[in-house]
Chain A
Amino acid sequence: MKKLFKTALAATLSLALAISLAACTSGGRTEQPASPAASSTDSSNAAPDTSINANGFAADATIGVSLPWLGTQNWQEASDMFKNQLETAGFKAIIQAADNKVPQQQSQIESMIENGAKVIVVGPIDGSQLGTVLEKAKDAGIAVIGYDRLLENTTGVDGVVQFGSIETGRLQGQALLDGLAKVKGAGPYNIELFGGGPADPNAPNFFKGAMEILQPKIDDGALTVVSGQTDFTQCATLDWDNAKAQSRMDSILSGFYSDKEIHGVLSPNDGIARAIITASENAGQQIPVVSGLDAENESVEWVWSGRQYSTVAKPTDVLVAKTIEIIKSLQGGNGMPATDVKANNGKIDVNIYELPPVVVTKDNAKEIFANDPARMELLK
């Protein structure tokens, strides 16, 4: 008993130690002892972007990237690309993901500040819950770039790089309409609507954009939302959780479509799209026309095989490239690049760098992924 215990104890401890050591060596250890406190000036009320980094910073400075989690393909890709491209550009990169926990992300950003990062790129879990730490970053003279999602409710943000979320929504709505006309013959059509995670500020915008296209058709009777659930809060999918979307689809199908056919579903992303398609198949329905977003591998295959009608590619490489372009501009002392688009985040107007998304259907998939060998593999 005693011996067993000792062995077990030793084993656990050494495992912990081993992982810590592995972690130490693989983690980005920097030799910069300069504490941010030392370099900062008393700048509690300084304007957000003009004074920061006016003279740029060292070409091998530390850049922090805080991502919400690595649970979906686009975030994993972003993590890899940031690491490669930042290091190629000569920066020291700290890339961390927060396991979808807000307090974890808060602490991560704080540790990046401690590590002397000059720029912190934040893909927030909840864009409105990082106020304090981002202001701390601002006070330490660090530029904060929002990645993919708006950073709300804080003055500590210098710009946000994202795909135009309303535009993305419009594209999804249009793709749904086109698909219905192409696949399901003449209308009127029965459709259902799904929204994304309500904590993500993009999700209502996707929905809003899509409804700009769909609402007129609903009003004139070309489209019928059989369940009657057309409000964003009714359609939203908490945490973008596919399982929740699937169970909502299951209950809609059993509740409203026992004697009807479903023709189309607006889906805010690919995971939810696949959940919807699976639910429809399980319910014995013909596969409806379903929109998507993110061009995940699985969905690209499904689009290619015709199960999912469309997806919208928000090529992560473009988003990462734009972010790195901004970082380089800051490094050179040129400040944040100019942009026309501003959005109010509840506290200040934030520079928005919008990128155009692209609709992918079976017809144009080969052209769009021509430069993406990994996805071209899927189109066989």
Chain B
Amino acid sequence: MRAIKKVLGGDLKQYAMIVVLCSLIIIFNIASGGKMVTPSNFQNLLSGNAYVLILAIGMLMVIVVGHIDLAVGSVAGFVGMIVAISARDFNLPWGAAVLIGLAAGVIIGAWQGFFLAKLGIPGFITTLGGMMIFRGAVIWISKSISVPAPPELKFFGAGYLPEWGPAWTGLNNSTLLLGIIAFAAFIWMEGNGSRRKAKLTGQRGEVWPSAIKIMLIGAVIGYATYLFGSGRPGTSFPVPGLILVILIIVYHTITERTPFGRHIYAVGGNKGAAALSGVNVKKVYFLTMLNMSLLAALAGIMFIGRSTAAGPSDGTSWEMDAISAVFIGGAAVSGGIGTVRATMIGGLVMAVLNNGLMLLGVGADRTQVIKGLVLLAAVAFDVYNKTQGKSSIISRLFQKKETAAETK
């Protein structure tokens, strides 16, 4: 048991959801007769959920800071429509239209941040207003009629990486290259981290946990590379998935490794203490909301790429999907707790459930009921752990043994 803990790192609780996710994939794969784990289905899974997961990244930060953003769906729909309209009616090149869309996201974020940070209106209300404003605005500017999106956007919303190089690999070589880069980067980071720790603290960790970890991750990356790369010719690891992965890395770094990230957790965990530690609480609120709307804009643009058109009801109830992902990922409603990684797992649990139930031919009605129950169960599990004293059942089992060992 201690060995497992050494390999995986301190907190085992975060792996509970990964176990759930893997079990779901396996169960659905068996139940659907092998239709779950196929290249095309995994490509669909990523392309079709990238926009929700991107929203969930921003939503995680908003929830950690202690607020909630109900406007993200409307903002995504509004920005998508702005991009489509500026490309169609003003004949702008797609790149310019996208820039206008992202700028709109920033402006909307600043607007929401202004109400929250400067006027002190709670995020729930600020964004409830925003939800109505931007839903109305999207219907208004579109006159309730769908507008075709610039065809180039399809690459970002549902595209694939190019095919090149030798055919003997049997895989899409772009995907193969990505896999190799990912693996190399992981080894470098793992090595670099422990080297630096050894240098500063003089503690040389054991080598074997790192080695096993590298082997495990290598196997996962290898399998993913094979799965995504071996699809129909012309397909690869999907572009929206790649955008998502880049954003996950960037935001994981921001939340875990930058002062701004620390400030988000500090404000969410204890606003008064954060203010007394020199954190500018208003600035943190403002930037968090700004970032959320920027990500919503990006999600909206990717979605119209996939849909090939921007519709007046785009984005309806996306905020709920994003919020569910964050809470299934173990974030606390009161703020201060939650990670990008866990949120992504939470979002994928929802996505796999949705996808798997569809493959089994289950209708939207029952899918909704099941998703609702899973959300409740996940959060209940979390609350249960907290009432039992912060740590999870699993880690408590380990802790008892270890503290007993240490006191001897």
Contacts and interface: CB of A to CB of B under 8 A. Distances in A.
A41 to B, nearest CB: 10
Contacts of A103: 48, 51, 303
A40 B354 CA distance: 26
Given A97-B364, A104-B364, 9 more contacts: A5-B387, A20-B370, A35-B35, A97-B365, A102-B307, A107-B48, A111-B358, A114-B41, A239-B313
B360 interface: yes
Nearest to A112: B358
Interface stretch (A50-58, A128-136, A216-224, A351-359): A128-136
Interface residues of A, number: 68
Contact of A16 (B38, B41, B234, B377): B377
Interface string B146-180: 10100000100110000000000000000000000
Interface stretch (B122-130, B137-145, B249-257): B137-145
Interface stretch (A23-31, A174-182, A264-272, A321-329): A23-31
A288 B325 CA distance: 50
B358 A199 contact: no
Contacts, number: 181
B148 A128 contact: yes
A101 B358 CA distance: 14
A243 to B, nearest CB: 15
Interface string B205-246: 000000000000000000000000001111000000000000
Interface string A1-41: 11001101100110110011011100111111101110010
Interface residues of B, number: 61
A77 interface: no
Contacts of A8: 380
Given A30-B33, A42-B233, A107-B355, A129 B361 contact: no
Given A29-B33, A199-B311, A129 B146 contact: yes
B121 interface: no
Contacts of B99: none
A115 B359 contact: yes
B293 interface: no
B48 A199 contact: no
Contact of B361 (A2, A96, A110, A198): A96
Given A42-B234, A44-B234, A101-B316, A9 B380 contact: yes
B308 interface: yes
A27 B364 contact: no
Contacts of B357: 20, 23
Given A35-B40, A42-B233, A106 B144 contact: no
20 contacts: A19-B366, A19-B369, A19-B370, A23-B357, A23-B366, A24-B362, A35-B40, A95-B361, A96-B363, A101-B364, A111-B355, A113-B40, A114-B41, A129-B146, A131-B307, A132-B308, A139-B232, A153-B148, A236-B144, A238-B312
B69 interface: no
A346 interface: yes
A108 interface: yes
B369 A198 contact: no
A19 B373 contact: yes
Contacts of B145: 198-199, 233
B364 A106 contact: no
Contacts of A94: 361
A372 interface: no
A108 B360 CA distance: 11
Contacts of A198: 143-145, 312
A9 B312 contact: no
Chain B CB within 10 A, most for which of A33, A94, A128: A128
B96 interface: no
Interface of B: 31-35, 38-41, 44, 48, 51, 139, 143-146, 148, 154, 157-158, 231-234, 303, 306-309, 311-314, 316-317, 354-355, 357-366, 368-370, 373-374, 376-377, 380-381, 383-384, 387-388
A301 B319 CA distance: 41
B357 to A, nearest CB: 6
Interface of A: 1-2, 5-6, 8-9, 12-13, 15-16, 19-20, 22-24, 27-33, 35-37, 40, 42, 44, 69-70, 94-104, 106-108, 110-111, 113-115, 126-132, 139, 152-154, 197-199, 233, 236, 238-239, 346
A1 B387 CA distance: 9
A153 B308 contact: yes
Contacts of B233: 42
A99 B364 contact: yes
A201 B1 CA distance: 61
A115 B34 CA distance: 10
A262 to B, nearest CB: 25
B308 A108 contact: no
B396 to A, nearest CB: 13
Contacts of A33: 33-34
Given A2-B387, A37-B231, A132-B158, A97 B363 contact: yes
A247 to B, nearest CB: 15
Contact of B35 (A9, A40, A114, A153): A114
A126 B313 CA distance: 9
B154 A27 contact: no
Closest 8 CB pairs of A and B: A131-B308, A27-B361, A198-B144, A111-B358, A99-B364, A16-B373, A129-B307, A23-B362
Contacts of B355: 107, 111
Contacts of B370: 16, 19-20, 23
Contact of B362 (A27, A100, A132, A199): A27
Nearest to A98: B364
B361 to A, nearest CB: 3
Nearest to B368: A99
B380 A37 contact: no
A28 B357 CA distance: 11
A33 to B, nearest CB: 5
A107 B44 contact: yes
A351 B76 CA distance: 34
A37 B364 contact: no
Contacts of B158: 132
Contacts of B309: 126, 128-129, 131, 152-153
